[in-house]
A and B are shown apart, each in its own frame.
Chain A
Amino acid sequence: MKKVSALHNLNLEVEEGEIFGYVGPNGAGKTTTLKILTGLIYPTSGNAWILGRDIRDVAIKKDIGFLPEGPYFYDYLTAKEFLYFYGQLFGMRKREIEKKVGELLDLVELRHVKDIQLRRFSKGMLQRIGIAQALINDPKLLLLDEPMSGLDPIGRAKIKEIILQLKETGKTILFSSHILSDVEMLCDRVGILTQGRLIDVGSLDTLLGSGIKSIEIVTSHIAKDTLREIETVAEKVTLRDEKLVIVVNGEEDKDRVLGIINRNNGRLISLTPGRKTLEEYLVEKVNREVAL
């Protein structure tokens, strides 16, 4: 068997109370990182600390919640038994567990199915009960591996809602994902991992640039002459539903186009600034890294 080094010199810092998105292509080492942090595999060299403590200390896990990728759980247990079991693994008292299980079933909206075996749960429900088990100990740090993968839009929306709710309660959340629109919507900061190396870390604004990439202007009632004038400035002009869609680069061009429209009594319908998406950024970055 060939030994593959999955991670190299990874130095990842997550700040307290933030949602950190851990992104990168398949096989980049995202899951490996989380498995090392939770003690499922051992690093060949190096150390890892969480909340200032060495991960080899089992007691550190009292402050961590972990949801592995893909829902694989004891499917012969009912939702309530399932959460109860994990409560016991933290040495919690019976009454304490019962209270917490009730709260969590409400949070993930599964109280109505608490006495049903997990084998009868849908994927979305399993993912939610998975988040609930990760929260049984009221952890400071939550590690979620692909919490939204394989879910339908409604399931994803629910998970997002739960994650935002958790952030409000002051939890630090690190989640890996390749659904980048979700990461963009939820995360304060993002780390990009490729081929086992962390190639970029920062807030979305710093990574994607607060600068606007392009602006889309939608207008109507434009005469032919005016259109010709606009075309000299704009990047792209198209007709959509009898409206004119104009794409310009930068503020200056935007002002010039708006001036032309005004002067010729055109009607402005909408103005949308577009910035580079995380997806575009990631593809660009990873391709550059691979090319090096």
Chain B
Amino acid sequence: MKIRAIMINTFREAIRDKVLYSLLFFALLMIGGSILLGRLTIGENIKIIKDMGLASISIFGMLIAIFVGIGLVYKEIDKKTIYTVIAKPVHRYQFLLGKYLGLILTLLVEVAIMSFGLLLLVLSYEGHAELSILKAILLIFFELMTITAVAILFSSFSTPILSGLFTLAVYIVGHLSRDLLAFGAKSENAMIKYSTAFIYYSLPNLDNFNIKGKIVHQALVSWEYLSFAMLYGVLYISITLLLSMVIFQKRDFR
């Protein structure tokens, strides 16, 4: 109930912020713009549309997750709005969880609107709605939830600029971490071996969520794989949020 109230309040703040609408506008513009790019290639235009559409959802979702996520807690402390909330019978973990879920709800609505746009476009091109796209979008959403959790973790002890840089770094390295592990395994140097393994296991392996290529090229992605990726996401998010709560619990709001 209390978590829900904070979640709704966070969602309300987001939807009353004009920045979000401009981001959404650009995302839809990019999805629409894929028609033009599709025209430039012969025969493959539907693939281009799907590819660009999914990439737009992923990138704009990530932008919202990072930019809103890093300010989520910081803004409350900076603007002192947190004072009145913590003075109520609310546990700090409830506050943090409410903030997180509020942003997830915002992302859900954004992703739903973008997906609707993409599906509509595909429908108008192919004449039938291709639901396998939804599988890719589902995992994109899990990736966004993971990134948001990481952004919250950093923002629970750091400034927005540093949190933004850290989160962006995690996003980039998270997509390369499997390559890093493979690279480390080949190395003779124990130091490199262990440090690449450490990075691989501590940072999220975001490639787990990336099935865009397969979906665009109509390769089959099994439900077993989807379940594995989602479970991985839930586990990673839980640990990250737990860590944020421990840090947040100890903070003084001066």
Say whether A associates with B: yes
Stretch from A39-47, A160-168, A244-252 that touches the partner:
A39-47
Residue in B1, B86, B91 whose beta carbon sits within 8 Å of that of A91 in the complex: B1
A61 touches B84 (CB 8 A): no
Q: Kindly identify which residue among A42, A59, A66, A90 contacts B83, using a CB–CB cutoff of 8 Å.
A: A66
Residue from the list B16, B84, B252, B253 in contact with A133, Cβ < 8 A: B84
Is there contact, CB below 8 Å, between B89 and A58? Answer: yes
Chain B residue numbers with a CB within 8 Å of A62 are: 89
Binds A, one of B5-13, B44-52, B205-213: B5-13
Find B253's partner among A40, A64, A66, A73 (CB 8 Å cutoff). A40
Tell which of B17, B82, B88 touches A89, judged by Cβ atoms closer than 8 Å: B88
Q: Which of B81, B86, B253 contacts A74 (CB 8 A)?
A: B81
Name B80's closest neighbour in chain A (CB-CB).
A72
Contact B80 A90 (CB under 8 A): no
Chain B neighbourhood of A38, CB < 8 A: 83, 86-87
Contacts of A137 in B (CB 8 A): 88
State whether B252 touches A40 (Cβ < 8 A).
yes
With A42-B252, A68-B80, A77-B12: A88-B87 Cβ-Cβ less than 8 Å: no
Taking CB as reference atom, which chain A residue is nearest B249?
A42
Least distance between B194 CB and chain A CB atoms (Å): 34
The reply to whether B5 and A39 contact each other, CB–CB distance below 8 Å, is no
> Nearest B residue to A42 by beta-carbon distance?
B252
Residue of A nearest to B15 (CB): A76
Name B252's closest neighbour in chain A (CB-CB): A41
Given known pairs A77-B12, A88-B1, the reply for A40 and B84 (CB within 8 Å) is no
B83 CB contacts on chain A under 8 angstroms: 35, 38, 40, 66, 68, 72
| Contact across chains for B253 and A89 when beta carbons are under 8 A apart | no
Contact of A58 with B84 in the complex, beta carbons under 8 Å: no
Residues of B within 8 A of A81 (CB): 12
Taking CB atoms, residues of chain B closer than 8 Å to A41 are 252-254
Q: What distance in Å separates the Cβ of A137 from its nearest Cβ neighbour in chain B?
A: 8
Q: For the side of the interface on B, what is the size category?
A: 20 to 34
Shortest distance from the beta carbon of B12 to any chain A beta carbon, whole Å: 7
Q: Tally of A-B residue pairs with Cβ under 8 A?
A: 79
Bound Cα distance from A89 to B85, whole angstroms: 8
Partner of B81, one of A61, A66, A72: A72
Q: Which residues of A contact B9 (CB under 8 A)?
A: 74, 77, 85
A70 at the B interface (CB under 8 A): yes
Across the interface, name the chain A residue whose C-beta is closest to B98. A89
Q: Of the candidates A59, A67, A68, A133, which one forms a contact with B89 in the assembled complex, judged by CB atoms under 8 Å apart?
A: A59
A86 beta carbon closer than 8 Å to chain B: yes
Given the complex of chains A and B, what is the CA–CA distance between A39 and B16 in angstroms?
A: 30
CA distance A38 to B4 in the complex (A): 22
In the assembled complex, the Cα of A39 lies from the Cα of B89 at a distance in Å of 10
Neighbouring B residues of A68 by C-beta, 8 Å = 80, 83-84, 87
Chain B nearest CB, measured from A143 CB (Å): 8
B84→A86 contact, CB < 8 A: yes
Answer whether residue B59 sits at the interface, using C-beta atoms and an 8 A cutoff.
Answer: no
| B90 interfacial by beta-carbon distance below 8 Å | yes
Note all chain A residues with C-beta closer than 8 A to B252. Answer: 40-42
- Which of B6, B13, B89 is the most central at the interface, judged by chain A CB atoms within 10 Å of its CB? B89
State the CA gap A130–B80 with chains docked (Å): 13
Contact flag A72-B89 (CB < 8 Å), given A40-B252, A77-B12? no
Known: A40-B87, A61-B90, A90-B88; 13 extra A-B contacts, CB below 8 A, are A40-B83, A40-B86, A41-B253, A61-B88, A70-B80, A74-B9, A76-B16, A81-B12, A85-B9, A86-B84, A89-B90, A91-B1, A91-B2
10 contacting pairs across A/B (C-beta < 8 A): A35-B254, A38-B87, A41-B252, A59-B89, A67-B84, A72-B80, A74-B9, A74-B81, A91-B2, A91-B89
Closest 8 CB pairs of A and B: A88-B5, A66-B87, A72-B80, A38-B87, A41-B252, A68-B83, A61-B89, A89-B88
- Using a CB–CB distance below 8 Å, which chain B residues touch chain A? 1-2, 4-6, 9, 12-13, 16-17, 79-91, 250, 252-254
